[in-house]
Structure 1
Amino acid sequence: MKSPKISRWLTFLFISIIVLLLSGCWDRKEVNDLGLVTAAGIDKISDKTIELSVLVYIPKSAGSQQSMEGGSGGVSSQTLVRSATGVTIADAMSKLQEKLPRHIFWGHTEVFIFDDKLAKMGLAKQVDFIIRHPQLRERSQIFITHQKAKEVLGLLPPLERDLATVLRELESLRMGMEVTVKDYAEKLISDSKDTAVPYIRMLPPQEGKKKRETIAYISGTAIFKKDKMVGKIDASVTRGVLWLRNEIQLATVTVKPKEANGYVSLSLLEASSELVPSFEHGRWKMVFRTDAEADVVQNTTQLDMTNPKVIKSLQRQLKKVIEDKVNLALTSVQKDMKADIFGFGDAFHRKYPALWKKQKNRWNEIFPNIDVTIDSNIKIRRQGMNSVLSSIFPKEVNEK
C-alpha cells in the first residue's frame, strides 16, 4: 500500500500538471472592445466593385446610456452604419475594419440585404463566402431590395432597436417567405437550382417624421433562376407560392358571399399541402393537394352561420379564393418566369429517379409545360359566437 505522504505528492503533481495545461483568458476580447454587427448590406457599385455596409450595435449605449429620444418613444442611438468598397466581400471587410476603432465581430449578424442589381448578377459567390466564413451564421436571413442596402440599414425604426430586429420579427410572423443563407445554398445544389427570396421596400415615414424614421417591410418575393434574379412577384402572388411550397401558416381570407351583402373573414387554423407527380403517356403532370381548416372570425352579413347550407357555400367560395391564388402563382412563376421555386423537380426526382436521370437536362423545357391539377379540401370548423347584428337584422338563409 502507498503511504499517505506519497499519495499527497501524487495528487499535488497531478493538480500542477492540470494547472499548466489550462489555457486561461490570455486571448479574451471584452464586449467594449468589439463592434457587434447585427446586419450587413451589399450593393453593386460597378461590374467589379461592391459596397459592404454594416449595422453595428454599440454596447456602451445600452441601458442607462440610451439616448433621450429613445427613452421618450423616439429612435435609439444604439447603432451606427459604416461602409467600405472592395472587389470581394473579404476585401471590403478588411477596408471596413480600418474605419472602425473596435474589432469587428460578425457572429451576431442575423440579416443580409442585397440590392437587386447585384441579385440580377447572381449571389452564389457572396453566399459561398458567408457559408465558409468561421463567424458568419448560416441561419442568417436573406433579403433583396430595390433601394440601396446601405440606405435600408440606416433606417431608425420607432418600435425596435434596429432594422435587423424589425426584419427578424417580420420573418417570425411568417407573412411571407423565410429564407436563410443555408436555404439559399441548398437550393443552388437542388434539382431545379431555382429559388425565391423575400423582397423588401422602405415604408414611407408618417407625417411629421424624419425620412429615416421608418422601417422596411416585406412587399413580395424575388424570383431566382439558377442563382440570378429574373423577376419579382407581389405579396398576393406570394401567398399562392406559399400554398404550393406547403409553407402557409398565418392567413386571414375574406370572401364576399353571393347570397348576402357584406363580407365574411375566415382565419386558417391548419393547412397542409403536397405535390403528387405523375408521368403518363409522355405527359408530365402534377397534382397539388391541400387540406385546410378555418374559423369564422368576422361576419358582416346577416347569414346564419349555424346553417349547414351557408357553411357549405362559404367553403366552396373559400376554396375558389385559394385555388385562384395558386393559379395566379403558377401563371406568374411557372409560365412567365419559368422558375421552379415550387420543388416540382425534386418531387419528380423522388418518384421517378430513372426518368429524372434521363430527362433532367431538359427540365427547363419540361417545367413550363407541366399540367397542374388542384385538389383542395377546405373545412370550416367553427362559426364563431353569435353576432349582435342578429338581434337587429333578420338572418338570411341560403336555400340553394
Structure 2
Amino acid sequence: MLFAPLSELYGRTRIYHIANVGFIAFLIGCALAPTLNALIIFRFLSGVFGSCPVTNGGGSISDMIIQQHRGAAMAGFSIGPLLGPIIGPVVGGIVAERLSWRWVFWVLVILSSLLSLVFLAFSRETYAPVLLQRKTDRLRRENINNNINNNAAALLRSKLDAGLTPRELFLRAILRPFKLLVFSPICAICNVFVGIAYGYLYIMFTSITPLFEQQYGFDGVRAGLAFLGLGVGSMLGVAYFSSASDRYIKKKAKEAGDLAADDDDGDGEEGMVRRRPSVGAIKPEYRLPPLRLGAVLLPVGLFIYGWTAQYKVHWIVPIIGTTIMGSLQLYLVDTFTIYAASALAANSVVRSLLGAVLPLAGGPMYEKLGLGWGNSLLAFIAVALIPVPWLFMRYGEFLRKRFAIENL
C-alpha cells in the first residue's frame, strides 16, 4: 500500500534499498529483543519493510519482461515468497534446536545483508517514467539549448505522464486498490479466490508441525522436514505454470498472427489484408487455462491430507497431499497477478488479510471437527470455486469491458 506508490514517484531501486536497510535493522532488533512485546513490535516493523520486494517485484518484472514471456518470469519470482515459509521452518527448527531462537534472526540478518549488498552493487532502475525524468533533469543540468530540452522532455513523457503532481499521483495510487475492489467485480472475485488459496496455505503452515508431532511422533526437526511436501508441490507449480502459461499465450498470439499476417498474394482485396497481432490481441484470459487443473487439485489435496492424517496412514501420504496442494499455489497467484498489473496492490491486501485471519480459525476448527472433517470443510469450499476459471474464460472479457474503471 505504501511502497508501490512511492516506487512510482522516486523509482523502484531507491525504495528497494531503503526497505532492505529497514528490514535488516529491525531483524537486528528482533535478535536483541529483551521482552516478548519488543519482539512482536520489531517483527511487525521488519515485516513492513520486508514486504517491499514482494509487493513491488511484479511491477519490476512488468517493467522489464514483455507479456509473452512474463509467465515464466513471474513463476520464478514467486519461488521466494512461497518457498521461504516452507524452507524456513526446516532451517529454523534446526537452528533453534542447535543454537537458540535468537540465532534464527542472526542468520536472517547475515543472509539479508549479503543479498542487499549484491542488490546495491548490481541493480538498476527499471521504471520508465522515472528513467525519463532523470534523463530530462540531466539534460537540463547540462544546459544544452533549454528550449529544445523542454520540448524533448514533453515528448518523452507525453505517453507516460498523466500530468499529476506527486501528491495527486501518490493519493491515486493509495486509493487504486480500493477502487478496484469496490468497482471491479472480476478483480474482487479473483482476489477472494487467491486469498482463500493463500489462507489455506497458511493454515497448512500452522497445522503441519503439531499434526506430525502428535499423530506421528515427529520431533521438531523432522516435523519441519514435513514442510518439504509443500516445497515440492510449489516447484512443480513453477515448472507447470511457466511452461504451460507462456506456451499457451504464444500459441494464441501465433493464431492471431496467422489470421492477421500481411497479404502475400498482392491481390489488393481489403478483406484479405492481414496484420501482425498487437499486444492487445493477447488477452489476459489466455493466462487462465492452467488454473483449471489447479482449481481441481486444491480440494483433492485437502481431502488426501486430512483423512490420511486422521487415520494415521503412513506419514508420506499426508505429505503427498500437501504436495498436491502446493502445486496449485504458484500458478494460481501468477495467473491473477498477471491478469491486471494495477490489481497487484488489491490482491496483496485481500491475500494478506485472509492469510492472516484464516489460520487463526484453523486450530479451533481442527479441535471441533478433527483433521478429516476440518480439511473436508476447506475442500468443500474449494469445490464451490472450481467453476470460477471456466466462467472467467467465458465471460472475463465481457466483465473487464463492462466494468472498466477510468482514471486508475
TM-score by length of 2: 0.24
Return the structure number with greater helix share.
2
Return the structure number with greater strand share.
1
Q: Highest CA radius of gyration, 1 or 2?
A: 1
TM-score by length of 1: 0.24
Greater RCO, 1 or 2 (C-alpha within 8 Å, sep 6+): 2
